[in-house]
Amino acid sequence: MSDIAVIGLGHMGSALAKALVTSGKSVTVWNRSQGKTDALERIGALKAETPAAAIADSNTLIVCLSDYAATSIVLDEAHATDLIEGKTLVQLTSGTPKQARNLGQWVEARGGSYLDGAISAWPDQIGGPDASIVIAGRESVLTPIAQILKLLAPNLSHVGTDIGRAKILFNAALSYFAAHWIGFSHGAAMYGAEGMDVAEFGEAIAALSPMFADDVRHMGRAISGSRFADPQSTIRSVGVDISRLVEIADDLNISSAFPEFAADLFRSAAEAGYGAEEHCAIFKVIRTR
């Protein structure tokens, strides 16, 4: 049997399998589009013709498909009910905490062990010093395969036994990065509309990264302790500045969708009575439906 099987060979799954093979592990790989196994076979991976064969070929399975629905389809096709007993399935597919818990229950009801993880790295960072994986599940399940997972991401963190915890962390971070990507792109559009070099804008924002790190730590502590009453900037003042971005977007003939969305949130927070509190008090209107 191989040391590990990797099911799903998109950009990330292929990077995971490659890192394991080049680290000297015997790796079985499967993907619905079999052509994606060719490059991995050339460096020593073993190709499984079916997902059932991949599951049968190793006691440790890494799944990295497009989503949990795809995972369920593959497990059904593999008749995994009869194959999963005694094996450890590590799910590294993106999804929701509810989906993670449901799959964990499914695996364990059939005699398998389950870990749910989230990758914090781009595919070309896998196996390198900057790659991180957070894993949720029983520590007794993680310990025997932790060294294998560290070949993928040296920064491996166990975040508890609640199987949904890794996906909470991943999706909470994604919400931050979604605004980060949109905000940077909106700023880049402003720069470009004025004929300025967007690369220069990137360097300017990068230089501010220590300030951003301090701010996110501060916001985490303020929200955790409900400490909003001693602001350096307020919901009201930030809201005014963000509303001005709508006017600038109109002047520059670029989309105003992002600043309109942000301005509406800050306006709602001010109207709810939080105008004199600090900017992260916007949390109070976001947490309610």
- Residue pLDDT tens, the chain, 289 long: 899 999 999 999 999 999 999 999 999 999 988 888 999 999 999 999 999 999 999 999 999 999 999 999 998 887 877 889 999 999 999 999 999 999 999 999 999 999 999 999 999 999 999 999 999 999 999 999 999 999 999 999 999 999 999 999 999 999 999 999 999 999 999 999 999 999 999 999 999 999 999 999 999 999 999 999 989 899 999 999 999 999 999 999 999 999 999 999 999 999 999 999 999 999 999 998 7
- Supply φ then ψ for residue 194, to 5 degrees: -95, 5
Residues 6 or more apart in contact with residue 18 via CB below 8 angstroms? 40, 43, 126, 127
**Strands annotated E in the chain:** 4-7, 27-30, 46-47, 60-63, 88-91, 113-120, 132-136, 155-158
Q: Are residues 29 and 157 in the same domain?
A: yes
Q: Are residues 115 and 31 in the same domain?
A: yes
What's the one-letter identity of residue 57?
D
Q: Are residues 41 and 143 in the same domain?
A: yes
CA distances to 182, 183, 188 from 197, rounded to whole Å, are 18, 17, 9
**pTM beyond 0.75:** yes
Q: Are residues 38 and 177 in the same domain?
A: no
Q: Are residues 13 and 153 in the same domain?
A: yes
Q: Are residues 239 and 111 in the same domain?
A: no
Which of 145, 162, 179 corresponds to the end of one domain? Answer: 162
Cα gap 14→194, rounded to integer Å: 41
Which of 115, 136, 162 corresponds to the end of one domain? Answer: 162
Total domain count for the chain? Answer: 2
The residue range of the domain holding 182 is 168-286
Nearest alpha-carbon partner for 190 in 264, 250, 265: 250
Q: Are residues 12 and 102 in the same domain?
A: yes
Cα gap 279→238, rounded to integer Å: 7
